Amino acid sequence: MTATLVAEDVRRSYGDTVALDGVSLSVDAGEVFALVGPNGAGKTTLVRALTGTTDATGTVSVFGSDPRRVDRERVGLLPQAFDPPKRLTARELLSYYAGLYDDSRDADAVLADVGLSDDADTWYENLSGGQRRRTCVGTALVNDPDLLFLDEPTTGIDPAGRRALWDLLESLADGGTTVFLTTHDMAEAHRLADRVGLLADGRLVAVDDPDALVREYGGESRLVVETDADPAALDLSYPAERSGDSLVVSDVPPEAIGDVVDALAAAGASYDALTWKEPDLEDVYLQLAGNPAGDYAGPDRERAALAPEGSR
């Protein structure tokens, strides 16, 4: 495959704040790449560096060119903070943005794609938060881009609208559009992305397909028991530790859940709920990008991924 997007050792600081600390990545044509990471990790700065809208050092190439010189007809961009004129209807807005390109799609077709046909004549300021965001996504689609940057496209969109947008992005990717998106929604990243990159403190600490990330960093399946029982008082054959109001028992196969229940009963410990959990991308995120809320982050895992690149 040909790389649509290549970044090598991209760095950007604002005063003493290092927003990007040497990011290298490559995204192939037709690939969906999801960038995840905590607030302040550098995601928006990276999108800006990749789109040539901030001064960064290192090398960025889009379709083989400097991002500032690339044919803008081929690139769509939805910034995180995008605030279009409010006293225009959804259709007028899309028509306005379509008019900025030599070759653009019909505004009504784009409105249909983002599920806004019924609201085409509503002023932007009277649309709901989710409808506004979908209108904004539409503005990034009017030029039928080959490469689409979406910075948190589904923030504020309700679950049904989000799923509709996921379907749309999947069909765009199936049609060959390269998509680079940032998100805080791990289900979204897992569902849409061929590869997920996790950014922490301006560094890409892991990049892989979501299933591989879960296998490598997600930890074991586990049983979460809402109880105040002390693990030391239980006769368990599985590692257990307390996390907040819960007891977390690791490595328990589903068929052995009854053994844990029996151990609780034998110790006279009551419990309110019991949940068996498979590791998922959220566990990967908590494992690699820190866990400020103090929630359970997997048994005995080192925060090795936060170590500088090359030291692992």
Q: What minimum distance in Å lies between the beta carbon of 199 and ligand ADP?
A: 7
Any idea what DSSP says for residue 221?
A: -
The sheet carrying 240-243 orders its strands as 240-243, 246-250, 222-226, 273-277
Determine contact, residues 196/208, Cβ cutoff 8 Å. Answer: yes
In the bound complex, what is the minimum distance in angstroms from residue 17's beta carbon to ligand ADP?
5
* In contact, 183 and 19? CB cutoff 8 Å: no
Task: State how far the Cα of 193 lies from the Cα of 196, in Å rounded to an integer.
Answer: 6
- Is 189 one of the binding residues for ligand ADP (CB under 6 A)? no
Pairwise CA distance, residues 311 & 25, whole Å: 18
45 binds ligand ADP (CB under 6 A): yes
Contact 201, 17 (CB under 8 A): no
Pick one of 5, 7, 19, 93: the residue that binds ligand ADP (CB under 6 A). Answer: 19
Q: Please choose, out of 39-47, 104-112, 207-215, 227-235, the segment that lies near ligand ADP by the rule CB under 6 A.
A: 39-47
Q: Which is nearer to ligand ADP, 21 or 283 (CB)?
A: 21
- Residue from 7, 27, 41, 224 touching ligand ADP (CB under 6 A): that is 41
Nearer to ligand ADP, 78 or 225 (CB): 78
Q: Choose between 81 and 232: whose C-beta lies nearer to ligand ADP.
A: 81
Q: Does 40 bind ligand ADP (CB under 6 A)?
A: yes
Q: What are phi and psi of 179, to 5 degrees?
A: -125, 130
Burial letters for 203-240: b for 16+ Cβ neighbours within 10 Å, e otherwise? bbbbbbebeebbeebbbbebbbbebebebeebebebeb
Beta bridge partners of 104: none
Kindly tell me which residue out of 1, 2, 16, 39 binds ligand ADP, with binding defined by CB under 6 A: 39
Q: Does 55 bind ligand ADP (CB under 6 A)?
A: no
Answer yes or no whether residue 183 interacts with ligand ADP by CB under 6 A. no
Site string for ligand ADP, 67-106 (x = CB under 6 A): ----------------------------------------
Smaller CB distance to ligand ADP: residue 41 or 213? Answer: 41
By CB under 6 A, name the binding residues for ligand ADP: 14, 17, 19, 37, 39-45
